[in-house]
Amino acid sequence: MMPKHCFLGFLISFVLTGVAGTQSTHESLKPQRVQFQSRNFHNILQWQPGRALTGNSSVYFVQYKIYGQRQWKNKEDCWGTQELFCDLTSETSDIQEPYYGRVRAASAGSYSEWSMTPRFTPWWETKIDPPVMNITQVNGSLLVILHAPNLPYRYQKEKNVSIEDYYELLYRVFIINNSLEKEQKVYEGAHRVVEIEALTPHSSYCVVAEIYLPMLDRRSQRSEERCVEIP
């Protein structure tokens, strides 16, 4: 017969082992690297599966809130999703408000703890696409017409609302003389129509542009090169 003190020690050990096992399971299910990815105010919450999760055996639950609010709100379209992302563009459309998102996982009847993003403010953190660029030849010069990226449809109370409605933008235009393999910045400013003159006849040039945000000291990636032959 087991002595009382031995039985009590066994019982305590059993309970603590069970609790530790449950905590370990919850922790291993917890989504990893939960963060917002934002481009042109299209705000996507993304995450990676917990250490114990493989395949499509798990589902995820997403909530969001504005900084300072106590109550979290469920994102119905991502409540029980098997995806590793959730579009929260509509829920984060006040671009100067700071937001949080959080995700929990469920698998085989077990639920993880919530995993929360860092604070996210769209106006500060969204990445801007390069300008769309059209080029026309006019009497040996190049006429470059630039367009800022449009916002997601749900932002647009009117048609063709663009990034220009939310930021002071500067356009930078560069020209590359393919014969000399030399790049030169030919324009920086707010105008969207730029004329490039004094080009060498019978030469090949490429033009590329980017957007610069002075308030944030940030620039977009460069547009694709557009190349032309000067007759």
pLDDT surpassing 90 at residue 54: no
Tell me if the pTM is above 0.75: yes
Round to whole Å and give the CA distance between 163 and 23: 46
User: 26: pLDDT confidence band, cut at 50, 70 and 90?
Assistant: low
User: 38: pLDDT confidence band, cut at 50, 70 and 90?
Assistant: very high
User: 7: pLDDT confidence band, cut at 50, 70 and 90?
Assistant: very low
Cβ partners under 8 Å of residue 10, min gap 6: 2
Q: What is the pLDDT of residue 139?
A: 86
Q: Output the domain CATH number for residue 152.
A: 2.60.40.10
The domain of 26 spans: 4-124
Instruction: Answer whether 50's CB lies under 8 Å from 32's CB.
Output: yes
Question: 């991502």: which residue's tokens?
Answer: 78
Same domain, yes or no: 106 and 207: no
Same domain, yes or no: 113 and 151: no
Same domain, yes or no: 92 and 190: no
94, 124, 154 - which closes a domain: 124
Same domain, yes or no: 115 and 136: no
Q: What is the pLDDT of residue 179?
A: 83
Both tokens assigned to 81: 């999703």
Same domain, yes or no: 60 and 146: no
Which of these, 28, 37, 34, 39, lies nearest to 63 by C-alpha position? 34
Q: What is the pLDDT of residue 151?
A: 78
Same domain, yes or no: 119 and 187: no
Q: What is the mean pLDDT of residues 116-126?
A: 97
Both tokens assigned to 21: 């096992």
Q: What is the pLDDT of residue 74?
A: 98
Same domain, yes or no: 30 and 118: yes
Q: What is the mean pLDDT of the chain?
A: 86
Same domain, yes or no: 138 and 221: yes
**Which residues share a beta bridge with 193?**
145
74, 102, 124 - which closes a domain: 124
Q: What is the mean pLDDT of residues 183-210?
A: 95
Same domain, yes or no: 23 and 111: yes
Round to whole Å and give the CA distance between 50 and 84: 11
Same domain, yes or no: 107 and 133: no
Task: Dump pLDDT digits (tens) for 151-172.
Answer: 775 555 556 677 888 899 999 9
Same domain, yes or no: 114 and 11: yes
Q: What is the mean pLDDT of residues 104-129?
A: 95
Q: What is the pLDDT of residue 160?
A: 64
pLDDT surpassing 60 at residue 149: yes
124, 148, 165 - which closes a domain: 124
Same domain, yes or no: 104 and 132: no
Both tokens assigned to 184: 């030169």
Round to whole Å and give the CA distance between 137 and 197: 10
Q: How many domains does the chain have?
A: 2
